[in-house]
A and B are shown apart, each in its own frame.
Chain A
Amino acid sequence: MRLTVNGSEHELDLDPRTTLLDALREHLGLTGAKKGCDHGQCGACTVLLDGRRVNSCLILAIAQQDARVTTIEGLGGHPVQRGFLEHDGFQCGYCTPGQICSAVGMLGEVERGWPSATGDDDPLSDAEIRERMSGNLCRCGAYPNMVPAIREAAGR
């Protein structure tokens, strides 16, 4: 089985049941993507698949041999990462890689003009950011600090 992660191609011999998340964490040593619920209910496992944010825990690795996977380890000093540092956008840090990957994917969606359920004129209003980021839970409650981190990363 072949997986392309952060620009590197890997040949792996995996059980077909292996999810993309477990392939990253248990077989490639890329533990930045986190397992918070393993069922698409928390967003901690968020990675970018061909540039789109997805829950890697619900994706079978075997079905993604042609895809480009980007994990937190492959972001390399993205403005969202700097924003999280600047605004204390995390506490325990466990949801953080997922939040950051999700924010990076989300900013791309905004650039493509995708709407959200909020429907504000400004797609990066605080309410819009909160709605668009709602697929990433944070039990520490660091949400209020993530909003300015993400907004500023978008150049606002």
Chain B
Amino acid sequence: MTAATRAIGAPLARLEGPEKVSGTAKYAAEYRQENMAYGWVVPSPVPHGRLRAVLADPSADAIAVLWHGNAPELAAADDPELAVLQSDRISYRGQPVALVVAGTLEAARRAAQVLQLDIETLPHEAVLRTDHPEVYTPDTVNPGFPAESSAGDVDRALAEAPVTVDVTYTTPALHNNPMEPHATIARWDGDDLTVYDSNQHPSGVAATLATVFGVDRVHVVTEHVGGGFGSKGTARPNAVLAALAARVTGRPVQVALPRQAMFSLVGHRTPTIQRIRLGADTDGVLTAIEHQAWSQTSRLYEFAEQTAVTTRHMYAAPHRRTGHRLLRLDMPTPRWMRAPGEAPGMVGLECALDELAEQLSLDPVELRIRNEPHTEPETGTPFTSRHYVDCLRAGADRFGWWGRDPRPRQQRDGDWWIGTGMAGATYPAMAQPSTARVRDLADGGFEVAIGATDLGTGARTILSQIAADALGVPTGRIRIRIGDSTLPQASVAGGSSGSASWGWAVTEACRELRRTGGAEAVFDTTDLIAKQEKEGRHAFGAHFAEVRVDAVTGEIRVSRLFGMYAAGRILNARTARSQFLGGMIMGMGMALHEEGVLDPALGEWINHDLAEYHIPAHADVESIDAAWLDEHDDQLNPMGSKGIGEIGIVGSPAAILNAVWHATGVRVRDLPARLDKILPHLPT
């Protein structure tokens, strides 16, 4: 096909850009309905207990107050958190115990505030610790990996290694906080349910709601999504509550979560405790790697973060062991947040490697190069492509890494200590079954339809490029339809797999149309994907950071951040760069700013708003850039692409933390690195 790469890779501007900059792009809560009512969630004020009764203030202007005592029965979904208002049991603070419905937003919020709850409070536990007697090993960790892995004799190798590192890193609860809060407007027309919902998977949300309400026809509209970062991967309680309230009141109902509720109700990244042990010979060749990770889950649902799984893929070493332990707490259920497993896990591994490099007096880049595996370290499966070392070298060149004085606290510029640090990055290249439909519109145009979503990734734009090349026409002749569950079923916009999964289906459908010459073709990739090898498929990268640390206050600023990636074929140079940068900036937040601050007595992250849970602001982002190698991998999917949405947050936190050490000599092993952790160690 001569046209195969005409559109793919081009820096095409986002198709929906004009709507987004003019304010006309519609998000879930913005589809006005006649006679719409507003639902306001009443969160549980205790982490554990039983709701005996609710007492509504008769003067409050509510249409309905729904709670387990009067809510219609729902069928069980896979996710027990969707069984809202079905039981008296309270499993975490912030869990919805009632929904107040009123004719205006103002009335709904007030009625919810004054609703009195009669609760039997039960004892709770909120703190993750490794020595808790109820710590257990799950059967598997997400999304289905063994909880433990082992090869060789790690303990002996560590005992015999001339150089060892044994460190514990902890990461706090992190909160996705997409700018658009989770929101749903639900409307019933007979037994037909229509929901305008902010999510990453309209096909999945439709299927879930159909199950929960026992109906056949559910239409989910998700034209624009204001970010998700994993927290909108499945139907959240707002969708069920809105549909429930609409059913009961007979009116369309909007449930838009307040920002505060998002800290408990829509998932978060679990806190982790990670012990990493490394053994190496004096040349810096690893003989042993051990990564043990502890994380938490809720009483409702087992969510097992795959924190140490990345360590199974990164470096060669004959003796190796990984493991995961879980503790159930009276806390909200953790869920997916951008690079679940990889992001926290690579803090532990890549910071520990920096500590090893320090001990060896070896350059951290060189240390990683010396431990590059030729095949998957645990299984021996070949990599479809692995250009990690190339990323390390090219990244170091571009950043100006070489010649760096490895000693900490050597460089000073006025009031600032300066330091540099680096860390590796990786993310699995995945694809999931999806179906696409393409129609020849007979006016020179083609309609490509797939139930995908664009939460800011550029999916809409990229799919037009993929379709254009597959059909051999310019992108201007492609009309993309996504964001609707009535379109052919697509996989979730998650796991950095959207473009690969949907693009694959689109490519095949377009090829089929060309082959058949018909007016329409539909292609389902389920069988193709089932045949694929799952091992040995990863994107790689390297992050380099320069930080300045205020010598007076210990405040940290990232003055330079650079990411070098090998992520298969880049489908759109413009949106890809933006996604890489976005991941790196979120990584900066993870390193320096973000923490769900737990009050153990209340069982809650109490900084539950955007004034107190800091995400990076404009002023935090100084010089930042991303680049990539031209990587060809024909074993992945027809485009040769790997996912890029998450790799930017993998390793960038470690690069920054390693730079903080280089600037100050302070190893911050409990994230985030804030001034109070630096200050006691700075010279006066």
Evaluate contact between A88 and B574: CB separation under 8 angstroms: yes
In whole angstroms, how far apart are the Cα atoms of A42 and B611 in the complex?
A: 8
Q: Given A90-B21, A141-B616, is A42 in contact with B578 using a C-beta cutoff of 8 Å?
A: no
A142 with B582, Cβ < 8 A, contacts A22-B105, A90-B21 known: yes
Q: Tell me whether B618 is interfacial, beta carbon within 8 Å.
A: yes
Give 6 A-B pairs besides A81-B22, A90-B17, A93-B456 with Cβ atoms closer than 8 angstroms: A31-B27, A36-B610, A39-B611, A41-B259, A140-B227, A141-B583
* Residue from A31, A32, A94 within 8 A of B227 (CB atoms): A94
Closest to A76 in B: B22
- Could you jot down 28 A-B contacts, CB within 8 Å? A15-B104, A17-B110, A22-B105, A31-B27, A39-B259, A39-B611, A41-B611, A42-B259, A73-B23, A81-B21, A84-B17, A85-B18, A88-B14, A90-B21, A91-B227, A91-B575, A91-B582, A94-B227, A95-B179, A95-B226, A134-B617, A139-B227, A140-B456, A141-B582, A141-B586, A142-B582, A144-B621, A144-B624
Task: Determine which of A25, A34, A137 lies in contact with B610 in the assembled complex, contact meaning CB atoms within 8 Å.
Answer: A137
Other-chain contact of B229, A38, A39, A72, A139 (Cβ < 8 Å): A139
Residue in B110, B456, B621 whose beta carbon sits within 8 Å of that of A130 in the complex: B621
B385 within 8 A of A: no
Query: Which chain A residue shows the least CB distance to B110?
Result: A17
Tell me the smallest distance from the CB of B460 to a CB of chain A, in Å: 11
Q: B560-595 toward A: CB 8 Å interface, digit per residue (1/0)?
A: 000000000000001101110111111000000000
Q: In angstroms, how far is the closest chain A Cβ from the Cβ of B229?
A: 7
Which residues of A in the span 53-105 have a Cβ within 8 Å of any Cβ on B? 71-73, 75, 81, 84-86, 88, 90-97, 100
Contact status B227-A96, CB under 8 Å: no
In the complex with contacts A36-B180, A91-B457, A97-B583 CB distance below 8 A: no
Is there a chain A Cβ closer than 8 Å to B13's Cβ? Answer: yes
In the complex, what residue of chain A is closest to B454 when comparing beta carbons?
Answer: A92
Bound together, the chains give a CA A147 to CA B22 distance in angstroms of: 18
Q: Which residues of B contact A (CB under 8 A)?
A: 13-14, 16-27, 29-30, 32, 104-107, 110, 177-181, 224-227, 229, 256, 258-259, 455-458, 574-575, 577-579, 581-586, 609-611, 615-619, 621-622, 624-625
B21/A100 in contact, CB under 8 A:
yes
Query: B611 contacts which chain A residues (CB < 8 A)?
Result: 39-41
Interface centre among A29, A35, A40, A90 (most CB of B within 10 A): A35
User: CA separation between A141 and B617, bound complex, in Å?
Assistant: 9
A133→B620 CA distance, assembly (Å) = 11
**Contact: A93 with B256, CB < 8 Å?**
no
Q: Which residues of A contact B181 (CB under 8 A)?
A: 35-36
Does A107 have its Cβ within 8 Å of any Cβ on chain B?
A: no
Q: Within the assembled complex, what's the spacing in Å between the Cα atoms of A39 and B181?
A: 13
Question: CB within 8 A of A26: which of B24, B105, B615?
Answer: B105
Q: How many whole Å from B376's CB to the nearest CB in chain A?
A: 31
Alpha-carbon distance between A90 and B581 when the two chains are bound, in angstroms: 12
Q: Are A42 and B179 in contact (CB under 8 A)?
A: yes
| Inter-chain contact A91/B579, CB cutoff 8 Å | yes
Complex contacts, B20 vs chain A, CB 8 Å: 90, 93, 96
- B residues within 8 A CB of A142? 578, 581-582
Sort A-B residue pairs by CB-CB distance and give the 4 closest, nearest first.
A32-B23, A94-B226, A92-B456, A141-B585
Which range contains the number of A residues in contact with the other chain? Answer: 35 or more
**Which residues in B have their C-beta under 8 angstroms from that of A75?**
22
Contact status B104-A92, CB under 8 Å? no
Chain A positions within 8 Å of B225 at CB level: 92
Taking the nearest CB of chain B, how far is it from the CB of A20, in angstroms? 13
Evaluate contact between B456 and A84: CB separation under 8 angstroms: no
Cβ contact within 8 Å between A131 and B23: no
Asked whether A92 lies within 8 Å of B179 as measured between CB atoms, the reply is yes
Contacts of B582 in A (CB 8 A): 91, 140-142
The answer to whether B226 and A88 have CB atoms under 8 Å apart is no
Most buried by A among B21, B258, B622: B21
Q: Does A3 contact B (CB under 8 A)?
A: no
Task: Give the chain A neighbours of B258 by CB distance below 8 A.
Answer: 38
Given contacts A72-B22, A85-B13, A141-B581, contact A131 B619 (CB under 8 A): yes
- Whether B224 lies near A93 (C-beta < 8 A) is yes
Q: How far is the CB of A71 from chain B (nearest CB, A)?
A: 7
Asked if A17 meets B106 with Cβ closer than 8 Å, knowing A32-B22, A32-B24, A96-B21, the reply is yes
A25 lies within 8 A of B30 (CB): yes
Of B256, B578, B609, chain A has the most CB atoms within 10 Å of the CB of B578
- The distance from the CB of B570 to the nearest CB of chain A, in whole angstroms, is 14
Is the CB–CB distance between A73 and B22 below 8 Å? Answer: yes
Residue contact A131 to B456, C-beta cutoff 8 Å: no
Taken together as a complex, chains A and B put the C-alpha atoms of A144 and B18 apart, in Å, by 20
Contact B106–A138 (Cβ < 8 Å): no
Asked whether A37 is an interface residue with its Cβ less than 8 Å from the other chain, the reply is yes
Nearest Cβ on chain B to A75's Cβ, whole angstroms: 8
**A134 to B142 alpha-carbon distance, docked (Å):** 36
Q: Report Cα–Cα, A131/B28, bound state, in Å.
A: 31
CB pair B179 A34 closer than 8 Å: yes
Which residues of the partner chain B approach A95 to less than 8 Å between Cβ atoms? 179, 226
Residues of A98-150 at the interface with B, using a CB-CB cut-off of 8 Å, are 100, 127, 129-131, 133-134, 136-147
**What is the distance, in angstroms, from A147's C-beta to the closest C-beta of chain B?**
8
A131 to B619, CA, bound (A): 5
Whether the pair B226, A93 counts as a contact (CB closer than 8 A) is yes
Distance A144 CA – B622 CA, assembled complex (angstroms): 8
Q: Which residue on A lies nearest to B106, using beta carbons?
A: A17
**CA A102 – CA B451 in complex, angstroms?**
34
In the complex, whether A18 has a CB less than 8 A from a CB of chain B is yes
CA distance A71 to B23 in the complex (A): 9
Residue from the set A37, A39, A72, A93 with the largest chain B CB neighbour count within 10 Å: A93
Residue contact B585 to A143, C-beta cutoff 8 Å: yes
A40's closest neighbor in chain B, by CB? B611
- B107 x A143 contact (CB < 8 A): no
CB-defined contacts of A48 to chain B, threshold 8 Å: none
A21 → chain B, closest Cβ, in Å?
10
Which residues from 1 to 41 on chain A have a C-beta closer than 8 Å to any C-beta of chain B? 15, 17-18, 22, 25-26, 29-41
A153 to chain B, nearest CB (A): 12
Residues in A with CB closer than 8 Å to B586 are 139, 141
Q: Given A92-B226, A139-B227, decide whether A31 and B578 contact each other with a Cβ distance below 8 A.
A: no
Considering the complex, give the chain B residue whose CB is closest to the CB of A78.
Answer: B21
Q: In the assembled complex, how far is the CB of residue B624 from the closest CB belonging to chain A, in whole angstroms?
A: 5
Q: A139-B615, A141-B584, A143-B585 are in contact. Are A36 and B179 (CB under 8 A)?
A: yes
| Closest chain A residue, CB of each to CB of B36 | A26
| Nearest residue, chain B, Cβ from A84 | B21
Shortest Cβ distance from A61 into chain B, in angstroms?
Answer: 11
CA A17 to CA B38, docked complex, whole Å: 15
A54 to B228, CA, bound (A): 26
The CA-CA distance from A93 to B456 in the complex, in Å, is: 7
Question: B610 — nearest CB in chain A belongs to which residue?
Answer: A41
Please state if A141 and B22 are interface contacts (CB–CB under 8 Å). no
A residues near B110, Cβ cutoff 8 Å: 17
In angstroms, Cα B581 to Cα A81, docked, is: 21
In the assembled complex, the Cα of A122 lies from the Cα of B284 at a distance in Å of: 49
B22 pairs with A93, CB closer than 8 A: no
Q: How far is the CB of B204 from chain A (nearest CB, A)?
A: 19
Min CB distance A128 to B, Å, is 10
